[in-house]
Amino acid sequence: MLGDIFTNRASSVLHRDLRNSPPLVRRGDGPYLIGADGKRYLDASGGAAVSCLGHSDPVVAEAIRAQVDDLAYAHTSFFTNEPSEALAARLIELAPEGFGEGRVAFLGSGSEAMEAALKLARQYFVEIGQPQRSKFISRRMSYHGNSLGALAVGGHEGRRALYAPLLIETHQIAPCHAYRFQEKTETAEAYGKRVAAELDEAITRLGADTVAAFVVEPIAGATLGSVPPAPGYLRHIREICDRHGVLLIADEVMCGMGRCGAMFVSEQEGIVPDIITIAKGLGAGYVPIAAVLARERIVNGLMEGSGQLSHGHTYMSHAISCAAGLAVIEKVSSAAMLARVNTLGRRLQESLLERFSGHPHVGDIRGRGLFWSLELVLDRATKAPFAAENRLAGRIKAQAQRHGLICYPSSGTADGRNGDHVLLAPPFIIEEFHITEIIDKLEAALKSSLKSLSLAA
């Protein structure tokens, strides 16, 4: 019946593109999505790096069904519930050292998690008697969500522009993006140290006692395309924050929860943030869920002050979402699954390098685990990007979908407006033959997209 409604009249959904409704998807089958016409699409980006367990995991589905039978919802101002307590305890157990007596808040999206993290940082300083700390620093060309606070600390100029008059003032430093900004005479370590020093300079310029937190994606996500940090960069950032009494907020919404081969990229990089946000891989697409992890000292600051969290949402700690999240985490956090991500990640890297490292319009291939991107350039020698007017990312997305491949192309990669990349974040359950399918279909999509611009592939 629902299919009849969809096909017999115009959509009533406020779609992203108001002039064109997307094709109707009917069901999922492992790493594939299946349209109403029966066409199969290999989901090589997990949507937006979300569907880490594919689209038909029986264990997660059963956890949801069982929780519906017991309890769907109870407001957190009246009750807690077993799934949220169990999931919080498990996340603290998995978190980097320093979170042992920390706590977790559950929300509905990565944007909500970032809003909560910003408010938590602000409240912490008020509670410990430093109310003058209200400024936030982040990085240009970053992305932290689409709500107003998250947009304000984000560095995606295209997403910010329309809402600029509504955004709180924040301060931004350069990203750590070696392909674009490392000097030819610099080592990777020297570059990381140099770009981290911008944070020190910014804090000093603003007044160290006025800065609340620095917000960073440990591995840059959709805006830059899975850019790993330079060696030692995040350790320098942690030292600078400690020296000035500034909190470090790690946005692991896209890169965390096993996506890069460990539950937390922060731990891979040898740092302990004060606050961590997670989302996408926490619910694996089966439910909307996100979380904010607060380190012990943040919790203690509130406990010794008001003893309250000055923030809340109607659907915090939703029992069904937390039950699903717990089932997801138990699968994703296993040693076997993380080893699988690293093994398949190396295979994906090798395949991308083999097929595209000599491509005239692929400038960089970068990533970690099952989180990889191709940066596309007009000229490899100069790294000149494609102009925004070429709409290359949109062309690739459309051509890939026509070939039965879902990938995540994005634009503005080079300077916030120009430049394009294609991000791959396939489900952890793929097999090696799926990697071959991804590479073949991506190559075909890239070839046809460049041909439409009268360029050779």
Beta-ladder partners of 107: 290
| Beta carbons within 8 Å of 312's beta carbon, 6+ residues apart | 76, 77
The residue ranking higher by pLDDT, 16 or 430, is: 430
Residue among 190, 180, 96 nearest 139 (CA): 180
Q: Which of 326, 283, 308, 327 is nearest to 76 (CA)?
A: 308
Identify whether the C-beta of residue 147 lies closer than 8 Å to the C-beta of residue 114.
yes
Q: In which band, very low, low, confident or very high, does the pLDDT at 9 lie, cut at 50, 70 and 90?
A: low
For the chain, the average pLDDT equals 95
* Range of weakest confidence among 17-21, 252-256, 365-369: 17-21
Tokens 């709500």 — which residue?
147
Per DSSP, the residues of 229-290 read PPTTHHHHHHHHHHHHT-EEEEE-TTTTTTTTSSS-HHHHTT---SEEEE-HHHHTTSS--E
Among 14-28, 130-144, 316-330, the minimum mean pLDDT is found in 14-28
Nearest to 221 by CA among 144, 332, 329: 144
Percent of the chain with pLDDT over 70: 98
pLDDT, mean of residues 407-434: 95
Roughly what angle, to the nearest 10 degrees, separates helices 58-70 and 319-332? Answer: 150
Round to whole Å and give the CA distance between 404 and 333.
30
pLDDT tier, 74 (very low <50, low <70, confident <90, very high otherwise)? very high
Confidence of residue 457 (pLDDT cuts 50, 70, 90): low
DSSP H stretches of helix in 154-226: 157-161, 178-181, 188-206
pLDDT range class, residue 203, cuts 50, 70, 90: very high
| Burial grade of 404 (CB within 10 A; 0-12, 13-18, 19 or more) | middle
CB 138 within 8 Å of CB 152: no
Residues 6+ apart with CB under 8 A from 49: 221, 222, 254, 255, 259, 280, 281, 371, 408, 423, 425
pLDDT of residue 156: 87
Report angle CA 332, 79, 256 to the nearest 5 degrees: 20
Q: Are 109 and 116 in contact (CB under 8 A)?
A: no
Statement: residue 150 has pLDDT above 50: yes
Mean pLDDT of the 90-110 span: 95
DSSP 18-72: TT-PPPPEEEEETTEEEETTS-EEEETTHHHHT-TT-S--HHHHHHHHHHHHH-S
When mean pLDDT is compared across 18-27, 186-195, 417-426, the lowest value belongs to 18-27
Amino acid at 195: V
b/e map of 43-56 (b: 16 or more CB within 10 Å)?
Answer: bbbbbbbbbbbbbe
Tell me how far CA of residue 193 lies from CA of 196, 197, 237, 272, in angstroms: 5, 6, 9, 18
Is-contact 122 302, C-beta < 8 A? no
For 367-392, what is each residue's pLDDT tens digit? Answer: 999 999 999 999 999 999 999 999 99
Q: Token pair for residue 75?
A: 């407001």
Kindly report, residue by residue over 312-322, the tens digit of the pLDDT: 999 999 999 99
Task: Summarize pLDDT for 320-371 with one digit per residue, the tens.
Answer: 999 999 999 999 999 999 999 999 999 999 999 999 999 999 999 999 999 9
Looking at residues 48-57, what average pLDDT do you find?
98
Residue 195: name the closest of 225, 174, 223, 216 by CA. Answer: 174
pLDDT digits (tens, 9 = 90+) for 255-272: 999 999 999 999 999 999
Q: What is the pLDDT of residue 1?
A: 43
Q: Which two tokens stand for residue 216?
A: 């960073």
Residues 296-310 have a mean pLDDT of 95
pLDDT at 402 over 80: yes
Q: Using CA atoms, how far apart are residues 107 and 69, in angstroms rounded to an integer?
A: 22
Residues whose CB falls within 8 Å of the CB of residue 11, separated by 6 or more in sequence, listed in order: 21
Instruction: Please indicate, yes or no, whether the overall pTM of this predicted structure exceeds 0.85.
Output: yes
Those residues with Cβ within 8 angstroms of residue 47's Cβ, 6 or more apart along the chain or in another chain? 285, 406
pLDDT higher than 90, residue 416: no
pLDDT for 157: 86
| HSE, side-chain direction, 13 A CA sphere, residue 351 | 22
Q: What is the pLDDT of residue 7?
A: 53
Q: Which one-letter amino acid corresponds to residue 12?
A: S
For residue 319, CA distances in Å to 13, 283, 333 come to 27, 13, 21
Position 455 scores a pLDDT of 80
Q: What is the largest CA-CA distance in the chain?
A: 65
